[in-house]
Structure 1
Amino acid sequence: MTRLRSTAMYGLVSVTLLATAACGAGQDRAAAPAAPSGVTVQAGSATSAHVMWTPATADDGVHGYAVYRDDTKVEDVPAETTMVDVTGLSPSSRYTFTVRARGTDGTVSPPSARVSVSTPAAVAEDKEPPARPTGVRVTGDGPQGARLTWKRAPEGQGIVSYDIHQGGSKIHSVGGDATSARLTTLRPGTRYRFTVVARDAADNTSPESSAVEITTPHGPGDDPDTAPTDLKATVRAAQGGYYVDLSWLAPETDGEIPAYEIHLNGKFATTLVWGDKAPQGRATYTVHAGSTPGETLRVKLRAKLPDGTFGAFSEERSVVTSPSGQPGPDRTPRS
């Protein structure tokens, strides 16, 4: 009896040591992101589908997403994109979609839950768009949400889906029999403008509905500080004129900042749009400031945020074009 117990204990210790060694061997491997959640799929027309999912948090280390139709990858999108229109589908067909997250270190998550959708039947040659949606209303749904409603379309329109637009971009899609849509992941304390567009099976789209606007409230503890920070400005003389060299830190957002507006002396001066991926950390830009010596120039900028709205202005800096043609100092105290 004693010998049997000793053998069992030895086996238990051996298994424990093997398990500990296995854990230690895997510590050098980066953990893959979690599988994306909240995946939904909506037929957009007889040949397209709209796939959406819940965005990862900033701490998840997600670099992008891959969208799969059945077992074939059909789209790669960056981390700030959480929806995609998949085209080239066949009418009257059933498809299953999954989404995987890509980590910044190259790791790939397990697939999301599988979500199926059936495309409607093809229609005869049809170039007639659906009627414009009417009766659009918007109500608040907490600091980060809103609900849109509209009137049901007349019979015979053949509407397959409704697209929700914000800031000129489609941000959501629902089925053709829907008369409402719930929008989430909005920013607290921000004004939004929405329109609704109807789409039929032939992929014809209606004119946009009348626009509706709403300002999301501030939630407890929310800090909607969307202004660029640590703005620095110096002026220099070159090529017969003056140039203001700017540098700043981008506001912290859930996605990439696509553009900035720069204002001089309280007036819009220019728009900065990145030709490639926006820089990480400190950004720089030079703006032409005319050729008048001894002029005080006040400069500030604001970011176009990932949701299409503009954030708050940075602190304003003042510089002076020197009468001698040499750069004047930035007269704004630095914090």
Structure 2
Amino acid sequence: MGLRHLLGVALAFTLVTTGPAPAQASAPVTPPGAPLSVGTQYLSATTVDLSWMSAATGTNPIAVYEVYARRPGWTYPDRLVTTTTNAWVFVPIGGLRPATTYEMYVRARDTSGLTGPASAPVTITTLPSEIVPGPPVTTQVTATTATISWRPPAVAIDRIAGYDLIVPPATPTQPIQIRASTGPSTTSVQLTGLRPGTTYTFIVVVRYTDGTPRSAPSARGTVTTVPSVPPSPPSDLTVTTLTPTSVTLSWTASTPGDFPISRYFTYVNGGALGISNPGPDLRTITFAVYPGNTYEVYVRAVDQAGIYSAPSETVTFTAPSQ
């Protein structure tokens, strides 16, 4: 056997035994878990509020939750009714048919597009439209007031005990807030004490007299109050007296916006401590300090509608050492 042949065999053997290593298997991608504890509130003729607890995160963060509805016994595909990034809040689901049974479930989808398993379904049956009042409608809106009215249900008035105008809870642990209650023949109320430039959500619940298992709620309605002009910032904030243990500051009054000034708030070191003056005519304040410490202070005005001014200029001072 010649030398050239031996070298060829050796080279072939080396190529076989030192070839590329086999590729390592990539780690499996885990989808999100199933959302838990799906629950409902305020089922009406065409809407329901749905809530669930967050799903466990898989390999990638959760991007959205998808809510599906299906009608038992139907062969149509399950319908995607909404997507949301929220969990453990009540999500309004609309577009339902009156007096119809649905099964609803939720799935989490991660940032890569991978969808996790469905939650346990929750079964609902929407109410007959004739027993449900119309959604709240708003008229005569100002910065702090609004008139809310609604259409009564199509039932005899002797079945109706009255109505409640409710701010629906945003989460399963938030209490119900009843803003107004009326008798059976009153389908309009005027709300006062609202905040300017604020959106409110309401439903109307009719209370029945004939033993109906639950009151019938309307669909949601919203109102946004008129924005108001805030007070101007207080000016000329000045340290008038400074000792190792106390400081007194004074300032020039704010100019009112749409509402009279109610009081002033003094904020110390970034607002960690808010000190309220008892009234609009007192524009000086004294509070305790510690020797050698440095303080940053600013003041804001608040009007009778609860609207705050922008902060005054910030004053910085250091309490003298004892």
Shared fold, TM over 0.5: no
**What is the TM-score with the length of structure 1 in the denominator?**
0.36
**What is the TM-score with the length of structure 2 in the denominator?**
0.37
Larger radius of gyration: 2
